[in-house]
Chains A and B, each alone.
Chain A
Amino acid sequence: MADYKEAPLMSRPKTLDANEYFNLSTEKRRAEEERAALRANLKRQYQLQLNNPLRKELVEDPALTRWVYARANPLPHFRPTFKTSLMGALGGVLPLFVLYYIFKTDRNKKERMIKDGTLDRTFSMTY
């Protein structure tokens, strides 16, 4: 499995990840310990609130609040650049005109056929 190539957008299995076996320097361990300390602190806060017998309300999660707020308010951080203008034009302006053109030509063709009497309306229910 030395030549294992991971699929695009998918991760490497943990057992094939070199980091698990070779990155055991003191800096990496210190980093892992700091992360564990942060995690433990959050766990402690949550458990204290969860098991508080005098608590009457829901335990609110500030990370969730921040996520919801960030997803709902991208506008203050929006800046019109080349990429964002292109995305706006391709996704918002272009479909409008393209779809109008497609539907209008199709409808005109159908109307032409109806006027000429060539449209097969055997099973038409709205006629």
Chain B
Amino acid sequence: MRASQSVREQQPVNMAGVGFRRWAQLLSERKGSGIPALFPGARAAAGLAKDGLPGSFPKTPEEKAAAAKKYNMRVEDYEPYPDNGEGFGDYPKLPDKSQQERDPWYQWDHPDLRRNWGEPMHWDFDMYIRNRVDTTPSPVQWSSACKQLFGFIGGALFLLYLGELFPSYHPVGPKQYPYNNLYLEKGGDPEKQPEEEVKNYEI
């Protein structure tokens, strides 16, 4: 029992996978003290050595080869971002293609991301997931699509403008009122007969 537990302590234990009981057991056997002792193995890069992390821009061919090996790429394929102080370091410059472009029928390790385990990730990977930016080719040529859309919108706007310049309505005349053009309602004298019968029609 003792031997197996000490062997377990030496391996980096991922806290998400280990139950609370085991954590308590580990705690009781551990010799450290303070907050770092509460989370054994929770280092910045548990399982990955310091030189497995991204470093600074590679200047010599040996550094380039070492960086390519670190990122699991061929030396000929590995191309770092240009060294202009924008903070990329030796991270590889991968082609700007979205994940939607990858083969949907291949057996990826992570099918929703269309990515295999250990494959170098694009700097903008979170932008190129299938829910977001898509670089797949458009079904119609871009110039043709632009012409169709803006041609339609432009034509419609032009016709509307012409309609504003040359409006046309149904023919209307002034409103006609009964009872001698509302003689009594407009305050005319009830005793007096109006001068002439108002006729608003023609037969």
Contacts and interface: CB of A to CB of B under 8 A. Distances in A.
Partners in one complex: yes
Interface of A: 4-13, 31, 34-35, 38-39, 42-43, 45-46, 56-67, 69-71, 73-81, 83-84
Given A45-B117, A62-B52, A10 B74 contact: no
B74 A34 contact: yes
Given A35-B77, A42-B117, A77-B56, A57 B17 contact: yes
The prevalent SS among residues of B at the interface is loop
B66 to A, nearest CB: 14
Contacts of A35: 74, 77
18 contacts: A6-B137, A7-B138, A8-B142, A11-B97, A35-B77, A42-B72, A46-B117, A57-B18, A58-B14, A63-B117, A63-B121, A67-B123, A69-B45, A74-B87, A78-B85, A78-B86, A83-B86, A84-B86
6 A-B pairs with least C-beta separation = A74-B87, A79-B85, A7-B142, A42-B118, A46-B117, A57-B17
A46 to B, nearest CB: 4
A14 to B, nearest CB: 9
A86 B200 CA distance: 79
A38 B74 contact: yes
A62 B12 CA distance: 14
A11 B88 CA distance: 24
A5 B141 contact: yes
A94 B101 CA distance: 39
B142 A42 contact: no
Contacts of A42: 72, 116-119
Contact of B85 (A10, A61, A69, A80): A80
B42 to A, nearest CB: 12
B3 to A, nearest CB: 16
Nearest to A34: B74
A102 B190 CA distance: 69
B118 A71 contact: no
Nearest to B89: A77
A46 B141 CA distance: 41
B198 interface: no
Given A5-B141, A10-B136, A62 B47 contact: yes
A46 B110 CA distance: 11
A59 B112 CA distance: 17
A73 to B, nearest CB: 8
A74 B18 CA distance: 33
B135 A11 contact: yes
Contacts of A70: 54, 88-89, 91, 123
B54 A7 contact: no
